Structures are given as structure tokens and as C-alpha cells.
């Protein structure tokens, strides 16, 4: 039970940090950018991979922190990166028992 509380707290802290970062980065209210931010994509892939596939409390917590960082950004930021990171993480999670 304590593990889940740590994961939730890490995700919330990551979301707050992501929101603060995106406010410092961009001043506009909503963004309609179509290109993918490569740095955010790498953070999302690593975060979701660690969250689902590490099997370690510390690494999973770091993964949820990183995933929360990307998901917590302002509206319009990080949505594509989060989706790609989740898809890759789920594919790896499902493929690991097969390998």
C-alpha cells in the first residue's frame, strides 16, 4: 500500500514540476505546435518504461516522476510525447513474457 502512495506522490510532484517548467518555457495560453519535442519524448519513453517495466520501487518512482513531468505540462504540451511513451512502454511490457 505504501508503494502506491509513493508512486502517486512522485507523479504529483512530477506534474507540478512539469507545469512550472512549461510556464517558464512558454508564455502563450495554449499551443498548437505540431512537431514533437524530442527531449520530452525521450523523457516520456524513459519514464513510462521505468514505471511499468522496472520492478524496482526506486526506479518505478523515478519513472512516475518523469511521466508526471511530461503529463503535467500545460494544455497542448506533451500530449503526443505521452501517447508515444505509453504505447512503447505497453508494447515492451506485453512483449517481455514472450521473449
Go through the chain and tell me how many residues it has: 99
DSSP code at position 25? H
pLDDT for residue 50: 93
**Cα 71–37–72 angle (5° rounding)?**
15
At 7, list the grid cell.
508512486
**Rounded (5°) CA angle 59-14-29:** 150
pTM of the model: 0.85
Q: Which of 77, 74, 52 is nearest to 63 (CA)?
A: 52
Q: What cell was used for 70?
A: 511530461
Query: Each residue of 15-56: pLDDT tens digit?
Result: 999 988 888 877 776 666 668 888 889 999 999 999 988 888
Amino acid at each position: 500500500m505504501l508503494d502506491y502512495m509513493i508512486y502517486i506522490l512522485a507523479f504529483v510532484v512530477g506534474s507540478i514540476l512539469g507545469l512550472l517548467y512549461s510556464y517558464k518555457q512558454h508564455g502563450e495560453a495554449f499551443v498548437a505546435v505540431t512537431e514533437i519535442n524530442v527531449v520530452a519524448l525521450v523523457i516520456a519513453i524513459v519514464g513510462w518504461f521505468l514505471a511499468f517495466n522496472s520492478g524496482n520501487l526506486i526506479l518505478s518512482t523515478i519513472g512516475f516522476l518523469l511521466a508526471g513531468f511530461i503529463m503535467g505540462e500545460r494544455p497542448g504540451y506533451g500530449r503526443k510525447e505521452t501517447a508515444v511513451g505509453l504505447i512503447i512502454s505497453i508494447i515492451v511490457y506485453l512483449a517481455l513474457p514472450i521473449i
